[in-house]
Amino acid sequence: MTEFWLISAPGEKTCQQTWDKMNMATTQTSNLSTNHKFNMPELKVGTLDVLVGLSDDLAKLDSFVESVVRKVAQYMADVLEDSRDKVLENLLANGVDLVTYVTRFQWDMAKYPIKQSLKNISDIMSKQASQIDSDLKARASAYNSLKGNLQSLERKNVGSLLTRSLADIVKKDDFILDSEYLTTLLVVVPKTSYPDWQKTYETLSEMVVPRSTKILFEDHDSGLFSVTLFRKAIDDFKQKARENKFVVRDFQYNEEEMKADKEELTRLSTDKKKQFGPLVRWLKVNFSEAFITWIHIKALRVFTESVLRYGLPVNFQAMLLQPGKKNVKKLREVLQDLYKHLDSSATVIDATMDIPGLNLSQQEYYPYVYYKIDCNLFDFK
């Protein structure tokens, strides 16, 4: 499981005792979870009022930054076109995989100086995440537009003969181009109707040049035939062809237009390749930044909530538990037994229960401080 529970409990005589007690309870009889100490720096506490306000702000910031992390990860998957291994290779935090980063978490003193107030630190985090979010929108919009234009041009060159571009199928020699009276039409004929076409095309209207039809291209269902006739017979021929289930394609041979389309396709394809590398690098760097910010916010929340719940002086142990897949329920029960004395009123309240007047901000409530960190950021298609 890539889900972690970040919890804290007050220090006994020492914080080490708190850790030993929890570790023994969860691993002694059966390994309910893999546990790690979660390193917390000595942050500035500030006033109670500030902590209460900050607690609410951090809850919102946590959700926002998680959404940014997920957006960057999902867009990485879109750009790499869902090659799972490649995506996971690029989703790193500080150059290591996410599980390693979380389990070996160290506060980044350079980015978030602990001499600053908690409010200032949270403001720095908020600004960083907002910047990544707005940059992602701009970059994604530019790349998606390019990719969309390229795909729509590419789509024109595939598919049924009834709809696809004919520019790369026909040649100049297939057309009569410089005649005042004669012209060449292109007709899509179902394969099953080839005999009918050969028998009838000369008589579909007057002024069709005998023996002028040639097959130029075939796909699974149909063939593309050329036919030569007098210009004044075009409308009549088209109508009779339609009645016989032959489709006359509306196509004018224009070398300049065809060349421009080809050049546009090449240009878009080259632009996409040029943008791909820098975009993946940007996503890689900014995913790491966003994820690191997110885990620091979790640390700030644990600190703030632990001080609010357990009081001063600051004395608590933050712990990271990785539950075994089948042990989630049992682990909850063990932790409940271990910490129920911390809050006698805290029977477990699940966020899915609707209790009027109690706003849980979608967060379960336990007698110990608890936040979930889920490193599984998306489902692959």
The answer to whether residues 372 and 11 touch, using CB atoms and an 8 Å cutoff, is no
Cα 297 to Cα 33, 90, 226, 273, 373: the distances in Å are: 23, 22, 69, 36, 11
Residues with Cβ < 8 Å from 82, sequence gap 6 or more?
380, 381
Both structure tokens of 73: 């990860």
Question: Hey, which residues does 369 pair with through a beta bridge?
Answer: 8
Q: What is the pTM of this model?
A: 0.81
Question: Residue 227 CB: number of other CB atoms within 10 A?
Answer: 22
Q: Give the residues across from 96 on adjacent strands.
A: 93
Question: How many angstroms separate the Cα of 375 from the Cα of each of 55, 76, 93, 295, 322?
Answer: 23, 15, 11, 11, 11
- For position 61, what pLDDT does the model report? 98
Question: Could you tell me the two tokens for 318?
Answer: 């933050």
The 247-249 sheet, strands edge to edge: 214-218, 222-230, 182-190, 247-249
Give dist(CA 299, CA 105) in Å, integer. 9
Identify the residue whose tokens are 């149909």.
222
* pLDDT attached to residue 346: 58
Q: How far apart are CA 289 and CA 314, in angstroms?
A: 29
| Segments of the chain with pLDDT less than 50 | 351-362, 381
**pLDDT of amino acid 356:** 44
Q: What is the dihedral of CA 113, 114, 117, 118, to 10 degrees?
A: 100
C-alpha to C-alpha distance for 169 and 131, rounded to whole angstroms = 48
Return the pLDDT at 291.
98
pLDDT of 159: 86
Confidence at residue 186, expressed as pLDDT on a 0 to 100 scale: 97
Question: How many other CB atoms sit within 10 Å of the CB of residue 336?
Answer: 15
The two beta strands, 222-230 and 214-218, are antiparallel
CA distances from 310 to 107, 214, 304, 313, 327 (A): 22, 89, 10, 9, 28
